[in-house]
Structure 1
Amino acid sequence: MLLPSFRLDGKKAIITGAGRGIGRALALGFSEAGAEVILCSRTKSELEQVKAEIESRGGSAAVFPMDVTSTEEIKQVVAEIYQTYHQIDILINNAGMNIRSKASDVTEDEWVRIMDTNVKSAFMMSQAVGTRMQENNGGSILSVSSVAGHVALKTGVVYAASKAAMIQMTKVLAYEWGSSGVRVNSIGPWYFETPLTKHLLEDENYLNDILAVTPLKRVGQVEELIGPALFLSSEAGSYVTGQTLFVDGGMTINGF
């Protein structure tokens, strides 16, 4: 059969930041594609809601609350996950945050919080899971970066630096782990409607500025990230590694 498979039947996928927004959408989408999803974030109540929604649709999900900024907690929870599932096929590093400060106003605390949540968590999760994937001769790791890691935006210098770091981390991990059959990629979203962007998009002037540099002239819906993530995580993307796919309505080609 020539048509590559986007299905994830029998696969087990860890998704961080799975309680809301992009993480929730990917959890629902991956479940619909056949994966058993393992939901991780700080807020157990949000994860339980996503789990219930997945199960109401006939899918399978499990909840493992975790503070992704804690290296020790990552090691402990990942060990618990492997005791239960023995093998993980997919890791989605989605947990992230931003504090919008001008560069001259950034505090050390802001720097640490953003970097720990966005970069440190993605690396430590990748290390904890990727090591085991290498032992099992295969797996797929996908991190959620941003167009802010590729072009200069007024989204905050620390956020931009963290997302750029994720893109470079993706390349290096793909290079180091490729010989063991582990693929490492990332996606770079532009503006999508999420709980974190809702108040920004309600500002008409702010929204118009976004649309002015977006060839498709609209913001994205989180469901539109499922297809790109599935491609990079499934057998359909089996020869793709070290890449960042920008899901941005054409924003990064605009040259504004």
Structure 2
Amino acid sequence: SMAEEEKAEEKKVDKSQEDVEEGKRTPAGASNMRFDNASIRARFVRKVFTILTIMILVNCLMVAPVVVIESVRSLVSQYRWVILIAFLVFAVTSCTLMCCQSVARHFPCNFILLALFTLSAGVILMVICAELPPHTIVLALVTTCLTCTAIIIFASQTTCDITGCGFILFVACIAVMIFGICIGILSFFMDVHWLSIALSAVVCILFMIYLAYDIQMILGGRKHEISPEEYVFAALCLFIDIFEIFTSLLNLFNAAN
């Protein structure tokens, strides 16, 4: 009868309302949730790459006069000691943003620290590039751009998930740091030119892998992923990867010359 059909419909509506209240999702609800998550992730990715682009542009604008104008290059060479201050700011700001989640998520502290980090990285590159011939810098820049583009495409398209290799990469990074310290100590007693070249090659390869790892963590959909709230942290990680690749290539190409 019509009355029985109406009661059955009411029971279905009540049941669906109970499912919603209990946190259960209908297929349509699950689809909407997936769409929302994809939309949030897409906005996060756009924000990260926008911040990264600004950071890279700032560094390019800082380094360009050193490469192009001889008087600026000579001036920077006279004040090479500022690289020590820049390294200190670079280390403190990067460690703070990486280790203190509350600071990395809190506006405007996160952007202030990121700005200081970006400027310190620019100063470091200015001092390094002031000691190198322009063609070496341009060659390293072009190689870095091509390499990073290829890695980004590979990491986003491959079915291979490397987000579970974080611990292995961390251990490798510590090992490379210890190797670098040992080379620094040995340099006081012997010629470590070839060891320095080997270190640059290892660092370059390591951070290429790190770049692929970070790209997959940012894009999401893998075993591990970065939270959309960590956009400053994500941009910082990508910048450090590219920074290390570029400086390693500078050393390798300069050694080749």
Larger RCO (alpha carbons 8 Å, 6+ apart): 2
The structure whose residues are more often helix, as a share, is: 2
Structure possessing the higher radius of gyration over alpha carbons: 2
Normalising by the residue count of structure 2, what TM-score does the alignment of the two structures yield? Answer: 0.25
